[in-house]
A and B are shown apart, each in its own frame.
Chain A
């Protein structure tokens, strides 16, 4: 059974970096069939896919254009986890952030079959 455990601060000051980590059990961040995603949810923006990292003989990253200039997703194979860094945070980045696995048995890894518990991140001074 795949489990994703999120960690990271719930409060970030404006202009600082929002950082979250997602620890994986029951699968590998280096899996050649999975993709590891960050998704956020807020009342104003709804559900929003932010980006992903995945391994297919080498590492790849995809980011939503809305955050591409500010976002970095890094895999950590030694700890079997992946992380999110969102630079220059603004109050508009306030949301519940989820990590999620891209489905390995679906026709696309843009279906998300396992989710972390969610982290409410508030950007405020």
Chain B
């Protein structure tokens, strides 16, 4: 069982916006702003999309945004495109011995 809780799946139509939640505790998401989001296409390595809660690495579309409230982090993708269809994982530093907590992943389907 993953340390961070994500919905198993979300879907949206092209052009729409979707939000993926990531629920943790005060030991991880709620306690630190060290939250990142990864996109993973089938058979590929994860790709960093958001770091430090809401910052985008160079080259990542501004359609991707991140936020946090309490123990819940969120990834929002606006203007959905077909290529956004992938698995998305949240991650947070954690004070526990695992050091890094990952969510179980959310499969995004673009209808």
Which residues from chain B contact A113 at a C-beta distance below 8 Å?
A: 48, 51, 57
Which chain B residue lies CB-closest to A68? B97
Which chain A residue lies CB-closest to B57? A113
Cβ 8 A contact of A108, one of B34, B38, B44, B105: B34
By a beta-carbon cutoff of 8 Å, the part of chain A in contact with chain B is 46-49, 62, 64-66, 98, 103, 105-108, 110-113, 115-118
Which bracket fits the contact residues of B?
20 to 34
With both chains docked as a complex, state the minimum distance between the C-beta of A88 and any C-beta of chain B, in angstroms: 20
Which chain B residue lies CB-closest to A6? B45
Q: Are B36 and A62 in contact (CB under 8 A)?
A: no
Which residues from chain B contact A64 at a C-beta distance below 8 Å?
A: 97-99
Cβ 8 A contact of B34, one of A46, A65, A110, A118: A110
Which chain A residue lies CB-closest to B4? A46
By a beta-carbon cutoff of 8 Å, the part of chain B in contact with chain A is 2, 33-34, 36, 38, 44-48, 51-52, 55, 57, 89, 91, 93, 97-100, 102-105
Q: Are B52 and A117 in contact (CB under 8 A)?
A: no
Q: Are B51 and A106 in contact (CB under 8 A)?
A: yes
Q: Are A49 and B99 in contact (CB under 8 A)?
A: yes
> A46-B105, A111-B91 are known contacts. Are A65 and B98 too (CB-CB below 8 A)?
yes
Q: How far is the CA of A123 from the CA of B103 in the complex (A)?
A: 25
Q: How far is the CA of A46 from the CA of B89 in the complex (A)?
A: 10
> A110-B93, A111-B52 are known contacts. Are A46 and B102 too (CB-CB below 8 A)?
yes
Q: Are A112 and B52 in contact (CB under 8 A)?
A: no
